[in-house]
Amino acid sequence: ADIENLTKQSPGRLIVLDFFAQWCGPCKNIAPKLEAMAKEFTTVEFAKVDVDENEVSLMHGNS
């Protein structure tokens, strides 16, 4: 989902963005934990951002 649309659709909700890359080992290690948290904390919006596919990662200081 587009981050701007996500924030508009979820006003007042906590949003957790997972900046990841397909080739990143630590990203793969944390993915199951984030998925479990998303199931447990249903009032929190979780979203993934592929840093290799999305320019938004640069706007948030990730490369």
Q: Which listed residue (3, 17, 24, 30) is catalytic?
A: 24
Long-range contacts of 51-56 (CB under 8 A, 24+ apart): 51/19, 51/20, 51/21, 52/21, 52/22, 56/3
Asked if 27 is an active-site residue, the reply is yes
Asked if 9 is an active-site residue, the reply is no
Q: Which listed residue (3, 6, 17, 27) is catalytic?
A: 27
> How is residue 15 annotated by DSSP?
E
Q: Looking at the annotation, which residues are catalytic?
A: 24, 27
